[in-house]
Structures are given as C-alpha cells and as structure tokens.
Structure 1
Amino acid sequence: MQTVVEDQLLASKRSKLTRRRSSGNLGDIEKKLEQIRQNGQNRHTLSHVEDKLCEMFRASDKSGRVNVTKFLEALALAGLRQTDPRLVEMRRAIASIQANCASDVRFWASDGLCFDEDVFKGVIMDNIDIIHKALTGDLVIPHFESLCEHLEELYELCEKDDSGKVASYIPQLERFDPSLWGISVCTVDGQRYSIGDVSVPFTIQSTSKPISYAIACAEKGPEYVHSFVGQEPSGRSFNELVLDNSLKPHNPMINAGAIMTSSLIKPTMAIADRFDFVFQTYRRLTGGEYLGFNNAVYLSERQAADRNFALAYFMRENKCFPHVQDLGETLDFYFQMCSLEATCESASVIAGTLANGGICPITGEAVLEPSAVRNTLCLMHSCGMYDYSGQFAFKCGLPAKSGVSGVILLVIPNVMGLALYSPALDRCGNSVRGVKLCKELVYRFNFHHFDNVSASGEKIDPRKTSNEKRADMVHRLLFAAAAGDLTAIKRYSLMEMHLEAADYDGRTALHLAAAEGHVHIVRFLLQKCSVLVDAKDRWGSAPVDDAQLAGHEDITKLLLKHYVESGITIPDSFQPGEVKLNNLNSKMKDTVITEKPKKQGTKERNSSDENAPVVK
C-alpha cells in the first residue's frame, strides 16, 4: 500500500515538473518571438526589400501572414539550400519556432508554415542580402531551375552509356559498382544542384594534384615551384619514366610532377602535421561538407607503388628535388592526399571554389591565392585529363581534372564548378559518362572558353535572362545600324536575328540608319532583309520621316520608292508639293525628289562662298 502511495506522489511531482517545464518553454519561446518581432519592427535598412518579400509570399488565407513554406521553396528553386552556411541565422530561427510551436495555429495554415509580418522580417533580417539576390535573379545563374532541367536531361542521356571498366590496379577501386553515376553543381554564388549517386564517398585520387599544386604555389610562390616542375604537356603517359629537357617533371598534373609538388608542401614538418595541414585546407575548400580518408585505399596504393617509387628514385638520381628527401615519407604523403575521400556534393564545392578564384562560394572564405588558382586552371586546361588532355581542351575548352576513381572536377571560371562521378573508365583513365557529359554540356551551353558570346546564337547562355539576351542583341543591332557597320548587320542577318526588332522607343535599325544617313545599310535592310519600311516609333515617325528631317534626300527617295514598290500608301507629308511622283497610283515604279520652288526675287547662294550675301 505504501509503495502505491509513493508511486502516486512521484507521478504527481513529475506531472507538476512537466507542466512547469512546458510553461517555461512557452514563456521562453514567447520572449524569443517578441524579440524577433521587435527586431523586425525596428529594421530600417533594406526595409523596402522586406516589404516586397512579405507581399510576394503573402499567405492565401488572407490573414496577412507570410507563407514561410513557399518562401523556402522559392529559395530552393533559386539554388539556395536551407543548409547553406550563409543562411544559418534564418535556419536556426525557423527551426526554433517550428520545434516549440508545432501545434500552435498562429504559425500554420493549410498551405504550410506562416509567420506574421514582423516575425518574418526579424527571421530574415540577418541574411537579407543573399535572399534578395536569389529572389530577384541577381545570382550568376538567374533562372537556375532552367539549368537544372537541362542537367537532368543530360544526366539521363549519359546514364545510357554503360561502356568502360573500373580501375583494377588495386582491389579497393575494382570493387566499385560501375553503374554509379552522379552530378553535383556549385556556382560561384553558392547555388547548388545534385542528381544521382551524389552521396557515395570516393577517393579523390589524381584530382588532388591541382589542389596540391595550388597549395604549393600559395606557400612558396609560382617561381619557386616551377624551378622544380615544368608547365608543358608531356605528350606521354601520365606515369611514364621521363623528364623534360631541363630534367624536371613536365607538369604538376602527371605523377612525377605531383610527387614533386607534394614534396614542396610544408617540407620541414612531420608527416602527420603535413597531413593535418592539407586535410584542414580541403575542409575549408569543401565549405565544411563531407571529407574523409580511406585507409584501405592508402595501404593498397602503397602496396602497388612500384612505378611511383621508380619515378621518385629517377628524379632523385637526376637531382630534381630541392633538398635531401626521405622518398618513403614523400610518397606516403602523396598517397595520403590521393586517398582523401569526398562525395559529388563536397567535390563540387571544391570545383566551385576554383571557379571563384579560391573563395569558397558557400562560406565566403578565401582559401587559395587567386594567382595560384589562375595558374592551376591553366594547367588543368592543358594537362588535366591524362592522355586525352589535348582532345578535351579542343572539344570542351574548359579546365578539368580526372581521377581513376571515376571523378572529374570541371571548372567553368567565374560561373560554376561541377563534380561528375562514374567509376567506369575509358582507355585513357577518364570517366566515360563524365567526359560525355562535358561534351554535351559545351554543345548545349555557351561555356567553351572560346565561344563567341554574340555569334553563338544557338547555344544557351544561362548567365543571362531571356529578356537580357534579347535586349543585348537589340542593342548590338541598333548600334551597328547607327554606326553604319554593314559587316555586323550581315552577320546578324546570317544568324537569323529579327532585324525589325525595336528598342523601348519603338525605333528599329532602319530608323537609325535612315537618321544617320547610311544609305548602304538602308538599301541592304530593304532589298536583302525585306524589313518593314513603314514601322512607326512611339512618336508615330517612320524611317522616311527621320531621313527627311535629317536632310538625307537620297535615303528619302529610296524609302519612298520602296513604299511604291510594296504597294504601301505614301504618307501625306510626301504628296505633291513636297515630292513630285511620276504616277500616284499603287503601281508606280519610280519616285523623283524635286526641289522646293524658290521665292521670286531670290538668288541661289553659292555653296563654295559661305560669305556671299543673299540678294533679294
């Protein structure tokens, strides 16, 4: 009996304690909400932007609240993830409210999570800059969802290619599933997209080589580094036992060159400290995303390292190293870097950091020196794809580096980085699907390093909105017409550009050519391009009005002749008295411009004598 009473008392105490804690939690969240609300009310900087966001995502229940669910979906469409480090304050505030107010009707509607206006403003205030850029199309890829749709199509296209074989020189790589296929994108503004097997860890292998080179250049300077390793494509296999004419490895992207650059990174430190330094650098390059180390691959690399040991001894024999080397330790350090693990997701951030000049897109941290990144991209462009480097540079025109695990880091400078992963390799050691996607990407998008932005009309440029593209082309067309650049006009004609396109004021290329007196442009537009001769601008003026106003009689005559030949009614201002026509019907074949009748008693001024008086 006593035990039952004690149990009842204990249960009563627990109930009271729970109620107190619950009450305390509610009080805490109410205080937090009030603080967020006050922050939103006191906000002045960019308050007009916050007001527009509130209107844009107003809840459908007409309560005046802001639909946070739709707001987060819009950020996701723009490429920003909720895990983005730049949105950490907003994410924490939303998570706190969700956790403590899961059943509070003040925060929920039929279509998702909703905040009142002041709470919403307080939640987003610390991250308003990146939010505003994302939702106004001010990031590097304005219509990011369109790019994602194209990448999904290319993913499915390349997935069908099941050719190639996985690397077999060590058993750990041979065990990987050749059907794995993933693509991850990270733009220089931190926009993210992934599809496929993007969470599968893989060792980075030779994609560590450009990073080692960039670290060495930042540490020692490019002049010092290139006193021990060259810059030229070798024209040989990536692991061939050969040096250049200066007895140096040809470049840092082949095995001999990568072993050399590894030896230059913190050479006076213990190997454990050197590894920690490089590991932390990679951690910053990935923006804190997944990074690991595969000890089994490392041990297998050491066991199958005969060729790399031969390269190291060959270089030491030719006195290539800057100082006495413990070759075993140097090669261990090189193998450790090749055995670092990443996923498509984290590797794409590394590629995005290279595309962004060494600044991590999702953290904003400057990890690598801009000059070191520039040199690295140059070498990736010329030497990054093993024995396929020359053809890849020709066909794709972009910096890239591949590894025998099946990864390719593709860099589109100042735009984005991609990580492509598929273990099935071609005869050169590059991912079959990865190389195919690179080719398809450049075929579809205006990304090739030597693509002419104005002349590659059939390619897509995702860096601009469709309106910007149209405005840019109209500007180029009108500028060429005003400048009398017939070559440019002919080029635009061959590109099948709409030559009747007008600016905001409704003025066409024919308007400007007529006003500026470029008769050769007018003739080409009328006779070769059949543009509309009587197009009206916002003031109701046709090209012939501009030609007459500017005093270009030859162009006026040419335009009126085209009116007649086209069966278009001639404007009243050009009827007899101003202009005398041989025949006034619509079948007239010619038009003659006549002089205005002179007043009686006047004498024509001699054009050669500007000072001659007018005699009345």
Structure 2
Amino acid sequence: MHSPLFEQIYAECSKLEQYLEEARQFCDLGKVADYIPELTHANCSMIGLSLLDTNNKNIQLGEYSIPFTLQSISKVLTLILALMDHGEDVVFEYVGMEPTGDVYNSMLKLELVPPGKPFNPLINAGAIVITSLIKGDTPALKYERISNFVKELCGRTNISYNEKVYASEKLTADRNRSLAYFLKDVGVLKGNVDEHLDVYFKQCAIEVTCHDLSRIGMLLANQGVDPITKKEIFPARYAQIASTFMVTCGMYNESGEFAIQVGFPAKSGVSGGIIGFVPHQFGIGVIGPALNDKGNSIGGLHLLKQISKQFKLSIF
C-alpha cells in the first residue's frame, strides 16, 4: 500500500505544477554560483522536482531529468560511508555534531575554538575531513568507493563526475585549500592534503538528476533499506545521524529558517540541488540553479515551502 500522504499529493499533482511554475518566477531573483566558473553555464530559470515513495511510485515535474553536480549534497553521502567504514566513535573524534551559524566555507570557528576540529560534517572543513576518512589506499580507490556507493544509492551504474566542473572547482578552490592546510597544521587532517582535496572535488562533481536525489531521500526515509529488494544499503542508525545533521546544518546558515518554514530533513548544494525526505514516506529531489544569498536554490526553497504548507509535511 502507498502512504495516504503520498496518494494525496499524487492526486493533487496539478497543485504541484502550479507551485513549480510559481517557483520558477522566483529564479529571476537569484543568481547561479560563480565562484566555480563552470557552474555559471547553468540555466537560471530551470526548476525540476521528483518525489519517490517507499513503494517506488514517482512524481516528476519540470526539468527533473537534466543532470547537475552533487556539490555539498555529497557531504551527506560521504558521511554515511565514513560511518560505515569506521563507526561513529572514530568519525566524531575528527568532526563535531553542532551547527555553526556561519557560512559553509568559514574558517572563523576553526581558529577560535581549539583544537580546530570542524563543528560538523556538512561545512566544507568537516566534509574534507570526512572524505579523508574514506577507506582506500590511493585517492583513486577512495573516489571509486564513493562513486560505487552513489551508484548503489541511485540504483543505476551510469553515473560519473563532470570533468569540467571538477577542473573548474580544482582551479579556483583556494579557500578549501586554506581550510585543509589549517586542519593539517592542527593535526585534524591526516595524510596528503592535495590528494584528499582531489577526491573531495571529484565527489562534489558527481552528476545526478532530481530522480536520483529522490531515490536517495527515499532510502533515508526508509532508514537505509531498499523497500523493493529489502536490502539494507546503510544502517538505520547512520540514517538517523545523517537526518539529524540535515535538519540542523543541511541548508547552510538558513537551516533554522528552513526547519520552521518547511520542516523536514534536507541538504542543498551550490549547483542548485536540494535533497529532502519525509520520514517513512518519500524522498524529494529538487533542482533550481539560481541561488539566494545563503547559497540555497531560491526557486527550490519557494517550491518546498509551498508543498510543505499545502500537504503539512513538517515533522515538527
């Protein structure tokens, strides 16, 4: 049986179409990320939506099939993989569990709060440390494990990283290099900085679609279990940890406002993607490359606010 909530949304798809077109109008108020030059080529007015319930029933609207790069959404996935590799005791020796209230690439708290341990895994400093923890004897093997995990989560094998976005990000990543070398200096980041960053840039450049995000969200909603095959992709405990970080830190320094106005776990990326889910119900994938001043999809935020309000999706 499908969930009554999803069936209600499915029956009122015309409302979703209305909200999507309203959200498209907001895209003119934002701008695409320009600190990674390759991302400036994205279509500012593009917006897409995919919902996938735990019985594999799908709703797809707008430009849902156009690929885009994961960017910071990848941080949730590498966190889960690092937890699977090492367990939470080890992982949280290197990163904290608290929101910062700062922008995602800030160095401020690293310098003010000894011993320089990143506050959480979803800011850039924390995510770089998490990537360094992924098992693999070489950068290539680390990336291969991340790539294979993403493929399993998405349920398809034809997934790779966008070489132009990867090269563009690598060329302009002075802030991330600064973060990484600071972490190396204080002993939080072990090993070769450039090798860890290379893996990090590649994971951020992995290309997905809205449907892929909605499937990953659906797995999080279903506590890591593929409801069709009944296979456990990742443990329920790690789904819980990831979900909590998504609520407290997933939308950068707009996470509190998102929790109040939308009210379910979500994570954004500067390519304009947003992944979210309603626990035990369905996953959500959104793309809208035009960003607000916090780095979140301006059209995607409007769309999710309207959908949450209409169908009472908040978990709070």
Q: TM-score range by the shorter chain?
A: over 0.9
Q: Does 1:274 align with 2:139?
A: no
173, 183, 189: which one aligns with 1:305: 173
Give the C-alpha shift of residue 171 in structure 1: 2.1
In structure 2, the CA distance between the partners of 1:138 and 1:310, relative to structure 1 (3 Å rule), is: closer
Partner of 1:419: 285
Match of 1:180 in 2: 46
SS at match of 2:52: strand
- Note the 1:162-561 alignment, pairs <5 A: 162-241=28-107, 242-243=109-110, 244-266=113-135, 268-288=136-156, 291-321=159-189, 324-450=190-316
- 1:251 is aligned with what amino acid? N
Partner of residue 151, structure 1: 16
Q: Larger Rg: 1 or 2?
A: 1
Q: Does the residue aligned with 1:419 lie in a helix, a strand or coil?
A: strand
**Alpha carbons 2:94, 2:188 under 8 Å: kept:** yes
- The answer to whether the Cα contact below 8 Å between 2:217 and 2:276 also exists between their aligned partners in 1 is yes
Cα shift at 1:255: 0.1
The offset of 1:394, in angstroms, is 2.2
Identity %: 37
CA shift in 2, pair 1:143/1:289, >3 Å: farther
How far apart are residue 145 of structure 1 and its match?
3.0
> 1:140·1:187 contact (CA, 8 Å) conserved in 2?
no
- Displacement of 1:362 in angstroms is 4.8
Higher relative contact order (CA 8 A, sep 6+): 2
Per the alignment, in what secondary structure is the counterpart of residue 274 of structure 2?
strand
Paired position in structure 2 for 1:457: none
Deviations along 1:161-188, whole A, 9 cap, x unmatched?
Answer: 2310011112210011101110011112
Tell me: CA distance 1:144–1:444, structure 2 relative to 1, closer, same or farther (3 Å). Answer: closer
Q: Is the 8 A contact 1:291 1:346 kept in 2?
A: no
3-state SS in 2 of match to 1:150: helix
Deviation at 1:152, TM superposition (A): 2.0
Q: For 1:374 and 1:163, how far apart are their aligned partners in 2?
A: 35
Deviates more, 1:227-236 or 1:139-148: 139-148
When residues 197 and 210 of structure 1 are mapped into structure 2, their CA distance, relative to the original with a 3 A threshold, is same
Shift of 1:361: 4.3
Task: Give the unaligned 5+ runs of structure 2.
Answer: none
What is the rounded CA distance, in whole Å, between the counterparts of 1:350 and 1:232 in structure 2?
24
> Structure 1 pair 364/286, CA: closer, same or farther in 2 (3 Å)?
farther
**What is the CA distance between 1:387 and its match in structure 2?**
1.6
Offset, 1:364: 3.7
* Aligned twin of 1:505: none
CA spacing shift, 1:445–1:290, aligned 2, 3 Å: farther
Match of 2:6 among 123, 141, 146: 141
Normalising by structure 1, report the TM-score: 0.49
Kindly indicate whether the alpha-carbon contact (under 8 Å) linking 2:115 and 2:186 is maintained by their aligned counterparts in 1. Answer: no
The AA in structure 1 aligned to 2:153 is L
Aligned partner of residue 300 in structure 1, secondary structure: helix
The alignment's C-alpha RMSD in Å is 1.7
State the SS of the aligned residue for 2:94.
coil
Seen in structure 2, the aligned counterparts of structure 1 residues 396 and 328 have a Cα distance that, compared at 3 Å, is: same
Distance 1:188 1:289, change over 3 A: farther
Whole-angstrom distance in 1 between the partners of 2:157 and 2:187: 40
1:160 Cα deviation after fit: 2.3
Paired with 2:172 and 2:233, the residues of 1 have a C-alpha distance of: 33
Query: Residue 285 of structure 1 contacts residue 350 of structure 1 at CA under 8 Å; is this kept in 2?
Result: yes
